[in-house]
Homo-oligomer: A and B are copies of this chain.
Amino acid sequence: MANIIRASVVQAATAAYSLTETLDKLERLTRLAKERDGAQLAVFPEAFIGGYPKMSTFGMVVGDRRPEGRDEFVRYAKAAIEIPSPAIARIEQISKETNVFLVVGVIERDNGTLYCTAVFVDPERGYLAKHRKLVPTAMERTIWGQGNGTTLPVVSKTFESPAGQGTVDAKLSATICWENYMPLLRTWYYSQGTQIYCAPTVDARPLWQNTMTHIALEGRCFVLSACQFAQEKDYPPDHAVANSEARDPNNVMIAGGSVIISPLGKVLAGPLLGEEGIITADLDMDDWYRGKFDLDTTGHYARNDVFQLRLVDPAVTSQG
């Protein structure tokens, strides 16, 4: 009974290209998760800070690009945040004041390249770590760089038991959008003991639910998928849309589908569709043991004599 963590997933859109408004929104939603639902942990969607420029082409076709695309990129790069930066300090402040552990999707700027990143921020310890998406999908490859082996953290956190009965330990990771289709990356996180597998995304297809359930079962971990719900009004007026002839501020750009699933594949909350909102569930951490009993893909269900997974020493392949 005591081994429970109360976790929320926030489904919301970026306040497009306005860092200040987006941070305000982050604060407002974190406070709501805390005050209404008693959240100890909140997961925000992919690119919540910085924005997901859905439908943009940044002026590119194969073999050519237009100057307006470059200008759009400048605007997009400036809405991104550095780590550390005042924006990170603000997120630390929000976490501290609400006592909510935050996992937030951000667009990170590092030198001339942008990364699709998730940051882990602790109420007491502040910014802990970040994960950079390893492989952007399709057109994303033209605007985001690739993370590497130095940013694959599994973060330990000791929560207070909500019932006031001691503490509850948990390990958390983040895997962004279609990275969730990368079996070796998932295996890495399983091998590091992830228990709360956060999946910030903008993939709102119904098929996404299958993958979230599969991962919960494969990894025997809680899956917290936070998707954006975004409408045309959440983007600048000149932003590309699916159908430029039928612009409507209420048209849906990203449909949501945030969900919380247990290590035995049970849907605990969501999927939330068609609106912004917060879903919350009690995570009974004993379910992790219950799940591993059947299947532990990097423990009793591994075949290290047949397949070997190695994290290539980041010191070998990363600069600086």
Contacts and interface: CB of A to CB of B under 8 A. Distances in A.
Nearest to A146: B300
Contacts of A183: 183-184, 186-187, 218, 297
A295 B137 contact: yes
Interface stretch (A66-74, A117-125, A156-164): A66-74
Given A138-B142, A184-B183, A309 B308 contact: yes
Contact of A306 (B77, B288, B311): B311
A111 B145 contact: no
Contact of A290 (B73, B135, B139, B215): B73
A138 B141 CA distance: 7
Contact of A74 (B242, B290, B303): B290
Q: Which of A137, A138, A149 has the most CB of B within 10 A?
A: A138
Interface stretch (A52-60, A87-95, A98-106, A273-281): A52-60
A84 interface: no
A207 interface: yes
B292 A138 contact: no
A64 to B, nearest CB: 6
Given A53-B62, A60-B139, A112-B291, A146 B303 contact: yes
Residue among A53, A146, A294, A296 having the largest count of chain B Cβ atoms under 10 Å: A294
Nearest to A265: B207
Contact of A62 (B139, B214, B296): B139
Contacts of A289: 70, 73-74, 77-78, 112
Interface of A: 52-58, 60-65, 67, 69-71, 73-74, 77-78, 110-114, 134-135, 137-146, 148-149, 152, 178, 181-188, 191, 193, 202, 207, 209-211, 213-215, 217-218, 220, 240, 242, 254, 265, 286, 288-312, 316-320
Given A57-B60, A61-B240, A134-B303, 18 more contacts: A52-B63, A53-B62, A55-B61, A62-B143, A73-B290, A74-B286, A74-B289, A111-B193, A112-B289, A138-B142, A183-B187, A184-B184, A184-B187, A184-B307, A185-B307, A308-B310, A308-B316, A309-B319
8 A-B pairs with least C-beta separation: A305-B305, A112-B292, A113-B299, A145-B300, A183-B183, A141-B141, A214-B214, A54-B63
